[in-house]
Amino acid sequence: MDWTEDKMTFGDGNVLLRRAGSGAPLLILHEELGDLGPLRWQAELAGSRTVLHPYHPGFAKAPRVEWIASVRDLAGYYAGWLRNRSLAPIDVVGVSFGGWIAAEMMAADPALFRRVVLVSPLGIRPQPGEIFDLFQVKTPQYIAQSVASPASTEEYAGLVANAEAPEQFEAWEDAKAEVARLAWEPYMFNTSLPSLLGLSSMPMTLIVGGRQDGIVPVSALETYARAIGGAELLVYERCGHRPEIELRDRFVQDVKKFLA
Amino acid sequence: MKIFWFTERAYHDEDPVKLRELEDEVISSQSFWGTPNSRFDPKVGAKLLNQYLDEKIYTDEHLQEFDGVMLNEHHGNPFCLGAVMDVEAAILARTTKRLKIALIGNPIPVSGNPLRLAEELAMIDLISGGRLIPGWIRGAGCEQLSNNANPAFNREYFEEGHDLILQAWTRPGPFRFEGKHFHYRHVNPWVKPLQQPHPLIVTPGLVSPETAVWCAKRRYPYIALATFLEPTTQLWEIYAKAAAAEGYQAGPENFGYLQPIFVSRDQKYAEEMGKRFLYGGSFAHFARPEWMFPPGYNSKEATRRLAQAMANPNYPGKTLVTDKNDIEKARENIYANYEQNRSALQMIAGTPEHVIPRLKTVLNVLRTGIFTFWLDGPVPHEDRLECLRLLNSEVIPELRQHARKLGIVDPFEMAPGSRPLPAGGSYEAVSNKEAIVTY
């Protein structure tokens, strides 16, 4: 799959992104560590869709937008971009931190999306449980924590292969610093999000997670499912925080079916 | 020259087994920060905190050569029991009569409420009769974690908090302060410092060029925390250059230095006690890199430097102990550096006759108006007192005489920033690298 780097003029600057495939556009919102590179699940979805994968401002590959001070601000930024480029309503897959952004976007304006896939989304306080603290561990430790079985996850090695390289260290630090700016306190959740999601009729939503998620306890996903009327919750057994690479075939199949 | 002494107020059990166990834990986890506080015995803590205060009161009453004491604070670790130094400073403000009380320094971002800090410090200055020397720091990375202070805004909190404190002290109230992070719609503290318009402010650091320039612009003396002599001289020159850009010549009144020391009548015993400065690997193992540099704490440039450093297989933050059985080996490695430290004067330990020429060397090189003796590690109270007595009676008089010969003045004799630039506008050197001696 060939990915093309692209930029779209927006606001005072550009939305930087990579894109691939053809067909109806599909938005992917990346996770808290930034863009971990084109992974196979993305390529497989690009087989039938035009995948638009923006780089969040301030996450290593795109410059910071100073006024963005919260995940809700970032959601507002992307919402403005979708409207500005006449991309709404669009299908979206939000992964972890990207799932939180997508949820904030639809809470503010359900008309932005046609279908929504939230993959192990951050953004809601788990009860019971706690969200694993990204800011107290080295990044490779966080990645290890995010996968139930590194040995049987084909793409895991690729995620940490360059962990010792200065460029990789710096890119992760940039992404984490931006996450700190946006989500330091409360840590990785927004107390009003479940109530906001419950105020309006939401787009059709699929929530996917793993029973052995070491980052976000399943209880948070269950709260999401209760808050979003009609949402479907799939919790994979023997799977951690990254169903998209841990159980890729099943994940791609479920997402394709849902988006069809 | 003004002479102070300082200690981190280490937690240490008199029971050698418990002391050893704690050190083992620090070495194996490569971090003081994060050591579970289940190891803290309140009875030991109470005794030590009082001893550390008593030593300062004793200094005030009996050791007239000392002009002051310095305090700092750290959070969540056993090498520094001073978790809230303003509490100790307040006690000393009332229980001592003459010592200057220097704070190196208050971690503005960590404190979270700069207006309260302004009030606390004003009260300490008032109660002490104008003996406070406040200082500011950003706080170590791990302390942002201890206090949930967002590291990504650390420098902004620092700058903005500092500006608010200065305004609270000097600007007639009530006024409104609405910054990016701190918002007060009614600033009108009814306590202001006795020293007007505000006390002399110092700033400590570990040779960060950004901090030196920041100090030079504000005419704050910069106090180097026992850094190696050569990089310290380089930093002095960075400060002097920034001072010249501000239109003044930097001098000894702009600089301070903390010198690790241990003095005893018995050379061997002094060396043994001095070695304890390396307790737990000393500050190299204050915390692991991921805790010392949480996301956003460093500038982009500093993160780049760190990225390069961490790619180096010899980076000190790399795992020191891979196996519990390696603790002894790691301990040997740490203490094996002791002689090297002594050669580079990172620790001066010995009899008065031994330490005096070495201290003169440090003064020859750094020419500081503020000189601070740093005693640290798990050293018994009586040995510490004896060290202070020997410094007072035999070492400091010689050092003062030497400082006079060198023309060293302190910030109370000459206001930092008041020295005119030489004709022509270029500045004079403020240190003497050529005087470095390796012993």
pLDDT score of B58: 98
In this structure, which CATH number among 3.20.20.30, 3.30.300.30, 3.40.50.300, 3.20.20.70 belongs to the domain B2-104+202-421?
Answer: 3.20.20.30
Per-residue pLDDT, averaged over B70-98, amounts to: 96
Closest approach of chain A CAs to the CA of B179, in angstroms?
A: 15
* Tens-digit pLDDT string for chain A (260 aa): 899 999 999 999 999 999 999 999 999 999 999 999 899 999 999 999 999 999 999 998 999 999 999 999 999 999 999 999 999 999 999 999 999 999 999 999 999 999 999 999 999 999 999 999 999 999 999 999 999 999 999 999 999 999 989 999 999 999 999 999 999 999 999 999 999 999 999 999 999 999 999 999 999 999 999 999 999 999 999 999 999 999 999 999 999 999 99
- Chain B interface includes A178 (CB < 8 A): yes
pLDDT band at B369, cuts 50/70/90?
A: very high
Q: What are the residues whose beta carbons fall under 8 Å from the beta carbon of A31, sequence distance 6 or more?
A: A95, A96, A97, A98
Q: What are the residues whose beta carbons fall under 8 Å from the beta carbon of B172, sequence distance 6 or more?
A: none
Complex-level ipTM: 0.95
Give the separation between CA B12 and CA B205, rounded to whole angstroms. Answer: 26
Per-residue pLDDT, averaged over B53-78, amounts to: 97
* CATH tag, A4-259: 3.40.50.1820
Per-residue pLDDT, averaged over B382-394, amounts to: 98
- Chain B interface includes A176 (CB < 8 A): yes
pLDDT score of B325: 72
pLDDT band at B320, cuts 50/70/90?
A: low
pLDDT band at B298, cuts 50/70/90?
A: confident
Peptide bond into B197 cis (omega under 30): yes
Strands (E), B164-254: 175-178, 183-187, 203-205, 222-224
pLDDT score of B324: 67
Q: With a cut of 80, say whether residue B112 has pLDDT above it.
A: yes
pLDDT band at B280, cuts 50/70/90?
A: confident
Strand B348-350 and strand B370-374: pairing?
Answer: unpaired
Where are the domains positioned within chain A? 4-259
Tell me the two tokens of residue B320: 């020191």
pLDDT band at B318, cuts 50/70/90?
A: low
Give the separation between CA B163 and CA B144, rounded to whole angstroms. Answer: 20
- Which chain B residues have a beta carbon less than 8 Å from that of A63? none
Contact B307 A164 (CB under 8 A): no
Q: Mean of the per-residue pLDDT values for chain B?
A: 94
Per-residue pLDDT, averaged over B338-359, amounts to: 96
Where are the domains positioned within chain B? 2-104+202-421
HSE (side-chain half, CA atoms, 13 Å) at A164: 7
Closest approach of chain B CAs to the CA of A101, in angstroms?
A: 20
- Chain B interface includes A165 (CB < 8 A): yes
- Which chain B residues have a beta carbon less than 8 Å from that of A167? 307
A positions 24-53 inside 8 Å of B (CB) = none
The partner residue sitting opposite A165, judged by closest CB among B148, B304, B311, is B311
Give the separation between CA B95 and CA B192, rounded to whole angstroms. Answer: 21
Specify which residues A16 forms β-bridges with.
A7
- Which chain A residues have a beta carbon less than 8 Å from that of B319? none
- Which chain A residues have a beta carbon less than 8 Å from that of B294? 135-136, 180
Tell me the two tokens of residue B343: 């050669």
pLDDT score of B312: 67
Inter-residue contact B90 to B127 (CB < 8 Å): yes
pLDDT score of B118: 98
Indicate the residue type of B46. A
pLDDT band at B317, cuts 50/70/90?
A: low
pLDDT one-digit tens code per residue, B238-272: 999 999 999 999 999 999 999 999 999 999 999 99
B403 three-class SS: helix
The partner residue sitting opposite B152, judged by closest CB among A136, A170, A180, is A180
Per-residue pLDDT, averaged over B353-373, amounts to: 98
- CA B276 distance to own-chain centroid: 18
- Which chain A residues have a beta carbon less than 8 Å from that of B311? 164-166, 169
pLDDT one-digit tens code per residue, B121-150: 999 999 999 999 999 999 999 999 999 999
Contact A169 B150 (CB under 8 A): no
